[in-house]
Amino acid sequence: MKQRPRIYYTDSQKALMWERWRKGDSLQKIAQMFDRSHSSVDRILAETGGICPAKRCRSPLALTLAEREEISRAVVAGQSIRSIAFKLGRAPSTVSREIKRNGGLDGYRAAQADQRAWDRAQRPKPCKLVTNPKLAGVIASKLQVQWSPEQIAGWLKQTYPSDEDYHVSHETIYRSLYIQARGALKKELLAHLRRTRDMRRSRHHTQKTGDHGRITDTVSISERPATVEDRAIPGHWEGDLLFGSHNSQIATLVERQTRYVMLVKVAGKDTESVVNALVMNARKLPQELYKSLTWDRGKEMADHKRFTLDTHIQVYFCDPHHPWQRGSNENTNGLLRQYFPKGLDLSTYSQENLDEVARLLNERPRKTLNYETPAQRFNQCVASTD
């Protein structure tokens, strides 16, 4: 069998790859630009886990190619090392080491010496998580309970405010996961991230679109009071259905101010089943903490008038194909996919199981809450109503 020739890309082609990858293009689309298969592009991007490597540059203290050419000519002319160093404004030891490590007086060549220096400079700086295994252990334990790198970074700064050895950016955690050559965090921990892909992708790669049925007599989100919009007062919720396999689903509710989550088991996605479950759930909270509900335009809320009549909770609906208008709930549903991956049969979960998942999510620190937990904020609201 004839072996196919290996494909090589120029630096400019690789730069174009990374630019299109950051903008969210697929591997297939990038490969089409070079009339190649997507596997050849994947090989380049996968080396660093989909994270664009930093652009290399020479140290301003290093010898330049022009200086090395001057050294080469001076060596051929038989000049002494001290005279060469004086002419370049460098220390004699710098010139001496340069000549010795690149062939000596008889074999020194400027171009070869310059390339060798560039190759030797590819020594990665040790990652902070490698030099601090205790910190790596703490981070690994939090990843295993589905905390995001951003939550971990914020929690560390809040927990160890005066110990900079325990301060690390979320980007460092991501890089340690996706760039396995660092040797800091095991690749298995990728399975605990919200997105369990092998390479890091741009936030522009995918965008959820709404394709729900129409319902009548809706109250538009534009009529929602300003106090709901600015999250100044607790008690205003956003909701949606999270779907699984075998036509299973659960209702997800998140309070806008505290980001507190409630999960509700529903018997089906028909409006009677969903509204009945939401009515029963609403009765668990005092009226002060459940004043309104914002929902997408799914047919499961077609009987929204009965919900309002039974609970005295006003329902507002997003504009058609604008699910991001209930952004807190959209974000929460993304977090819940760590506990309920796509393709999972949600009908097997009892309400007690759902309550336990909600507890785990409510005890995770959130950046938008200054790395306090939704449970802390919501309990403060409950205490103020007593």
Locate tokens 């809320």: which residue?
301
CB atoms within 10 A of CB 142: 21
**DSSP classification of residue 220:** B
Instruction: Look at residue 55 and tell me whether its pLDDT is greater than 90.
Output: no
Q: Alpha-carbon distance 120 to 3, whole Å?
A: 32
Q: Is the pTM of this model over 0.75?
A: no
Cross-sheet strand order for the sheet of 314-317: 261-265, 249-255, 236-243, 292-295, 314-317
Mean pLDDT of the chain: 86
CB atoms within 10 A of CB 195: 12
Give pLDDT tens digits for 64-87. 999 999 999 999 888 999 999 999
Domain 221-385 fold is Nucleotidyltransferase; domain 5 (3.30.420)
Locate tokens 């050849």: which residue?
40
Residue boundaries of the structural domains of the chain: 11-46, 65-120, 128-192, 221-385
CA dist 7 → 4, 20, 35 (Å): 9, 19, 11
**Residue from 298, 246, 238 nearest 262 by CA:** 238
Instruction: Look at residue 351 and tell me whether its pLDDT is greater than 90.
Output: yes
CA dist 272 → 204, 279, 303 (Å): 37, 11, 7
Residue with the larger pLDDT of the pair 263 and 62: 263
Confidence band, pLDDT 50/70/90 cuts, at residue 191 = confident
